[in-house]
Protein backbone atom coordinates (compact mmCIF):
# COMPACT_ATOMS: atom_id res chain seq x y z
CA UNK A 1 0.00 0.00 0.00
CA UNK A 2 2.82 2.40 0.85
CA UNK A 3 4.47 1.71 -2.51
CA UNK A 4 1.15 2.37 -4.29
CA UNK A 5 0.66 5.68 -2.50
CA UNK A 6 4.22 6.71 -3.35
CA UNK A 7 3.61 5.90 -7.01
CA UNK A 8 0.39 7.95 -7.04
CA UNK A 9 2.09 10.91 -5.36
CA UNK A 10 4.96 10.82 -7.86
CA UNK A 11 2.51 10.73 -10.75
CA UNK A 12 0.61 13.72 -9.39
CA UNK A 13 3.81 15.73 -9.06
CA UNK A 14 4.59 14.96 -12.68
CA UNK A 15 1.30 16.42 -13.98
CA UNK A 16 2.13 19.12 -16.55
CA UNK A 17 1.41 22.72 -15.60
CA UNK A 18 -1.12 22.91 -18.43
CA UNK A 19 -3.25 20.34 -16.60
CA UNK A 20 -3.26 22.31 -13.34
CA UNK A 21 -6.30 24.32 -12.35
CA UNK A 22 -6.41 27.58 -14.32
CA UNK A 23 -5.92 30.82 -12.37
CA UNK A 24 -9.06 32.56 -11.19
CA UNK A 25 -9.49 36.20 -12.23
CA UNK A 26 -12.38 38.23 -10.82
CA UNK A 27 -13.56 41.10 -13.02
CA UNK A 28 -15.96 43.58 -11.44
CA UNK A 29 -18.20 45.99 -13.33
CA UNK A 30 -18.11 49.10 -11.16
CA UNK A 31 -21.47 50.28 -9.80
CA UNK A 32 -23.41 47.49 -11.51
CA UNK A 33 -26.44 46.36 -9.51
CA UNK A 34 -26.71 44.69 -7.05
CA UNK A 35 -24.83 47.27 -5.00
CA UNK A 36 -22.62 46.98 -1.95
CA UNK A 37 -24.11 47.91 1.46
CA UNK A 38 -22.55 51.12 2.70
CA UNK A 39 -21.97 52.37 -0.85
CA UNK A 40 -25.43 52.16 -2.40
CA UNK A 41 -25.60 55.92 -3.03
CA UNK A 42 -22.47 55.73 -5.19
CA UNK A 43 -24.11 54.87 -8.49
CA UNK A 44 -21.25 56.03 -10.70
CA UNK A 45 -20.67 58.74 -13.26
CA UNK A 46 -22.89 59.44 -16.25
CA UNK A 47 -22.45 60.85 -19.73
CA UNK A 48 -20.55 58.05 -21.44
CA UNK A 49 -21.70 56.71 -24.84
CA UNK A 50 -23.75 53.97 -23.16
CA UNK A 51 -25.49 56.05 -20.50
CA UNK A 52 -24.25 55.42 -16.99
CA UNK A 53 -20.95 54.08 -15.70
CA UNK A 54 -22.28 50.66 -14.80
CA UNK A 55 -23.28 49.91 -18.41
CA UNK A 56 -19.87 50.93 -19.72
CA UNK A 57 -18.19 48.82 -17.03
CA UNK A 58 -20.42 45.84 -17.80
CA UNK A 59 -19.53 45.94 -21.49
CA UNK A 60 -15.80 46.11 -20.80
CA UNK A 61 -16.06 43.45 -18.07
CA UNK A 62 -17.87 41.03 -20.36
CA UNK A 63 -15.34 41.59 -23.15
CA UNK A 64 -12.46 40.89 -20.75
CA UNK A 65 -14.19 37.79 -19.37
CA UNK A 66 -14.64 36.37 -22.87
CA UNK A 67 -11.03 37.00 -23.84
CA UNK A 68 -9.63 35.64 -20.59
CA UNK A 69 -11.60 32.43 -20.93
CA UNK A 70 -10.24 32.02 -24.45
CA UNK A 71 -6.74 32.37 -22.97
CA UNK A 72 -7.38 29.53 -20.51
CA UNK A 73 -8.22 31.63 -17.47
CA UNK A 74 -11.05 30.88 -15.04
CA UNK A 75 -12.59 34.35 -15.41
CA UNK A 76 -15.57 35.24 -13.23
CA UNK A 77 -17.86 38.23 -13.54
CA UNK A 78 -18.75 40.33 -10.50
CA UNK A 79 -21.23 43.14 -9.94
CA UNK A 80 -20.74 45.97 -7.43
CA UNK A 81 -21.59 43.58 -4.59
CA UNK A 82 -18.71 41.10 -4.39
CA UNK A 83 -20.19 37.64 -3.90
CA UNK A 84 -19.37 35.41 -2.26
CA UNK A 85 -17.82 37.52 0.48
CA UNK A 86 -14.13 36.65 0.72
CA UNK A 87 -13.97 35.05 -2.74
CA UNK A 88 -10.41 34.14 -3.65
CA UNK A 89 -8.44 34.17 -6.85
CA UNK A 90 -5.23 35.26 -8.50
CA UNK A 91 -6.44 38.72 -9.49
CA UNK A 92 -9.32 41.09 -8.76
CA UNK A 93 -9.86 43.86 -11.34
CA UNK A 94 -12.56 46.51 -10.87
CA UNK A 95 -13.51 48.45 -14.02
CA UNK A 96 -14.71 52.09 -13.87
CA UNK A 97 -14.58 55.41 -15.69
CA UNK A 98 -14.12 58.82 -14.09
CA UNK A 99 -16.38 61.89 -14.06
CA UNK A 100 -15.94 65.17 -16.03
CA UNK A 101 -12.51 66.68 -15.53
CA UNK A 102 -11.17 63.38 -14.21
CA UNK A 103 -8.52 61.14 -15.67
CA UNK A 104 -7.57 57.67 -16.79
CA UNK A 105 -5.63 56.06 -13.93
CA UNK A 106 -5.00 52.84 -12.03
CA UNK A 107 -5.06 52.21 -8.30
CA UNK A 108 -4.20 49.17 -6.22
CA UNK A 109 -4.72 47.79 -2.74
CA UNK A 110 -2.52 49.29 -0.02
CA UNK A 111 -1.60 47.60 3.24
CA UNK A 112 -2.52 49.31 6.48
CA UNK A 113 -5.74 51.08 7.25
CA UNK A 114 -8.99 49.69 5.93
CA UNK A 115 -11.84 50.40 3.56
CA UNK A 116 -13.55 53.77 3.22
CA UNK A 117 -16.53 54.87 5.27
CA UNK A 118 -18.94 57.59 4.19
CA UNK A 119 -22.03 59.29 5.54
CA UNK A 120 -25.07 57.09 5.04
CA UNK A 121 -24.77 54.92 1.96
CA UNK A 122 -21.80 56.74 0.43
CA UNK A 123 -22.06 60.53 0.78
CA UNK A 124 -19.26 62.95 1.58
CA UNK A 125 -15.54 62.34 2.00
CA UNK A 126 -14.25 58.84 2.60
CA UNK A 127 -12.24 58.12 5.71
CA UNK A 128 -10.84 55.07 7.53
CA UNK A 129 -13.22 55.24 10.50
CA UNK A 130 -17.04 55.15 10.33
CA UNK A 131 -19.05 58.33 10.72
CA UNK A 132 -21.84 58.25 13.33
CA UNK A 133 -24.34 57.89 10.47
CA UNK A 134 -22.35 55.46 8.28
CA UNK A 135 -24.46 52.61 6.96
CA UNK A 136 -23.46 49.17 8.17
CA UNK A 137 -20.89 47.34 6.03
CA UNK A 138 -20.76 43.63 5.35
CA UNK A 139 -18.39 41.78 7.65
CA UNK A 140 -15.98 40.20 8.19
CA UNK A 141 -13.93 42.33 5.82
CA UNK A 142 -10.75 40.85 4.38
CA UNK A 143 -7.34 42.46 4.86
CA UNK A 144 -4.55 43.74 2.62
CA UNK A 145 -1.12 42.39 3.55
CA UNK A 146 2.23 43.86 2.45
CA UNK A 147 2.56 40.90 0.04
CA UNK A 148 -0.84 41.66 -1.49
CA UNK A 149 0.20 45.31 -1.86
CA UNK A 150 3.41 44.36 -3.68
CA UNK A 151 1.64 41.92 -5.99
CA UNK A 152 -1.14 44.43 -6.64
CA UNK A 153 1.34 47.19 -7.45
CA UNK A 154 3.07 45.01 -10.04
CA UNK A 155 -0.27 44.18 -11.65
CA UNK A 156 -1.31 47.84 -11.59
CA UNK A 157 1.84 48.90 -13.44
CA UNK A 158 1.24 46.30 -16.17
CA UNK A 159 -2.38 47.41 -16.50
CA UNK A 160 -1.35 51.08 -16.61
CA UNK A 161 1.24 50.37 -19.29
CA UNK A 162 -1.38 48.64 -21.44
CA UNK A 163 -3.91 51.43 -20.94
CA UNK A 164 -1.34 54.14 -21.60
CA UNK A 165 -0.42 52.53 -24.91
CA UNK A 166 -3.97 52.92 -26.25
CA UNK A 167 -5.07 56.08 -24.41
CA UNK A 168 -4.18 58.34 -27.31
CA UNK A 169 -5.89 61.08 -29.32
CA UNK A 170 -5.83 58.74 -32.31
CA UNK A 171 -8.04 56.36 -30.35
CA UNK A 172 -10.36 59.12 -29.15
CA UNK A 173 -8.83 60.00 -25.79
CA UNK A 174 -9.18 63.69 -25.02
CA UNK A 175 -8.35 63.81 -21.33
CA UNK A 176 -5.46 63.06 -19.00
CA UNK A 177 -3.62 59.82 -18.23
CA UNK A 178 -2.16 59.66 -14.72
CA UNK A 179 -0.81 56.11 -14.75
CA UNK A 180 -0.63 54.38 -11.35
CA UNK A 181 -1.73 56.78 -8.62
CA UNK A 182 0.77 57.19 -5.75
CA UNK A 183 0.20 55.10 -2.65
CA UNK A 184 -2.35 56.71 -0.32
CA UNK A 185 -2.89 59.66 -2.68
CA UNK A 186 -6.47 58.68 -3.49
CA UNK A 187 -8.48 56.93 -0.78
CA UNK A 188 -11.23 55.93 -3.19
CA UNK A 189 -8.71 53.98 -5.28
CA UNK A 190 -6.15 52.87 -2.69
CA UNK A 191 -8.75 51.71 -0.16
CA UNK A 192 -11.60 50.74 -2.46
CA UNK A 193 -14.12 48.54 -0.65
CA UNK A 194 -13.76 45.75 -3.21
CA UNK A 195 -10.23 45.06 -1.98
CA UNK A 196 -11.78 44.12 1.37
CA UNK A 197 -14.38 41.72 -0.04
CA UNK A 198 -11.94 39.32 -1.71
CA UNK A 199 -8.85 37.35 -0.77
CA UNK A 200 -7.37 37.60 -4.29
CA UNK A 201 -3.58 37.77 -4.38
CA UNK A 202 -3.67 40.96 -6.50
CA UNK A 203 -6.32 43.73 -6.30
CA UNK A 204 -6.55 46.58 -8.78
CA UNK A 205 -9.04 49.28 -9.83
CA UNK A 206 -8.93 51.07 -13.17
CA UNK A 207 -10.53 54.33 -14.25
CA UNK A 208 -10.45 53.80 -18.01
CA UNK A 209 -11.01 57.47 -18.80
CA UNK A 210 -13.36 60.33 -17.96
CA UNK A 211 -16.79 60.96 -19.44
CA UNK A 212 -17.61 62.94 -21.50
CA UNK A 213 -14.00 64.07 -22.09
CA UNK A 214 -12.95 60.66 -23.41
CA UNK A 215 -16.23 59.46 -24.89
CA UNK A 216 -14.77 58.62 -28.28
CA UNK A 217 -12.24 56.43 -26.50
CA UNK A 218 -14.73 54.91 -24.04
CA UNK A 219 -16.87 53.86 -26.99
CA UNK A 220 -14.08 51.49 -28.07
CA UNK A 221 -14.84 48.75 -25.55
CA UNK A 222 -13.29 45.99 -27.68
CA UNK A 223 -9.99 47.88 -27.91
CA UNK A 224 -10.05 48.51 -24.17
CA UNK A 225 -10.99 44.92 -23.36
CA UNK A 226 -8.23 43.54 -25.56
CA UNK A 227 -5.56 45.75 -24.00
CA UNK A 228 -6.61 45.03 -20.42
CA UNK A 229 -6.86 41.31 -21.09
CA UNK A 230 -3.34 41.35 -22.52
CA UNK A 231 -2.06 43.04 -19.37
CA UNK A 232 -3.76 40.54 -17.06
CA UNK A 233 -2.51 37.56 -19.06
CA UNK A 234 1.04 38.97 -19.09
CA UNK A 235 0.80 39.52 -15.34
CA UNK A 236 -0.39 35.96 -14.71
CA UNK A 237 2.47 34.62 -16.81
CA UNK A 238 5.00 36.78 -14.97
CA UNK A 239 3.67 35.29 -11.73
CA UNK A 240 3.93 31.79 -13.25
CA UNK A 241 0.21 31.19 -12.85
CA UNK A 242 -0.53 30.69 -16.55
pLDDT level of residue 12 (50, 70, 90 thresholds): very low
The arithmetic mean of pLDDT across residues 90-94, rounded, is 98
Report the C-alpha gap between 173 and 218 in whole angstroms.
Answer: 8
Minimum mean pLDDT among 14-23, 67-76, 197-206: which range? 14-23
For residue 9, being part of any structural domain is answered with: no
C-alpha 179: how far from chain center: 15
Q: How far is CA 140 from the centre of its chain?
A: 20
**Residues whose CB is less than 8 angstroms from the CB of residue 150 and which lie 6 or more positions away in sequence, other chains included:** none
- Tens digits of per-residue pLDDT, 146-189? 999 999 999 999 999 999 999 999 999 999 999 999 998 999 99
Q: Is the dihedral of CA 162, 168, 174, 180 positive or negative?
A: positive
Contact 179, 160 (CB under 8 A): yes
pLDDT at 8 over 70: no
Identify the CATH number of the domain in which residue 226 sits: 3.40.630.40
What mean pLDDT is predicted for residues 33-39?
Answer: 98
Residue 6 lies in a domain: no
- For the residues of 189-223, what is the DSSP string, one character each? HHT-GGGGSB--SEEEEEEEEETTTTHHHHT-HHH
Q: Is position 3 within any domain?
A: no
The string of pLDDT tens digits covering residues 106-116 is 999 999 989 99
CA dist 30 and 61 (Å) reads 9
Any domain includes 2: no
Instruction: Assess if residue 143 is contained within a domain.
Output: yes
Structural domain count of the chain = 1
| Mean pLDDT of the region 113-140 | 96
Q: What residues make up the domain containing 150? A: 21-238
Is the residue at 164 inside a domain?
yes
Distances, alpha carbon 126 to alpha carbons 38, 95, 118, 218, in Å: 11, 20, 5, 27
- pLDDT for 3 beyond 80: no
Residue 192 lies inside a defined structural domain of this protein: yes
Report the candidate in 31, 151, 150, 156 with the shortest Cα–Cα distance to residue 82. Answer: 31
Using CA atoms, how far apart are residues 129 and 144, in angstroms rounded to an integer? 16
Decide if 133 is inside a domain.
yes
Confidence of residue 14 (pLDDT cuts 50, 70, 90): very low
Amino acid sequence: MRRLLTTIATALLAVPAAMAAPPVVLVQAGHLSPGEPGYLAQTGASGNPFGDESEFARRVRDDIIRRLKAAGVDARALAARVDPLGVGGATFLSVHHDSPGGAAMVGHAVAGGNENYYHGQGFGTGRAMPYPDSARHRTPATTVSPLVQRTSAATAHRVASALGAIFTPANGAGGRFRGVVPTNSNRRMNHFYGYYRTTAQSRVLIEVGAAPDDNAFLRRTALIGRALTGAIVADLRARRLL
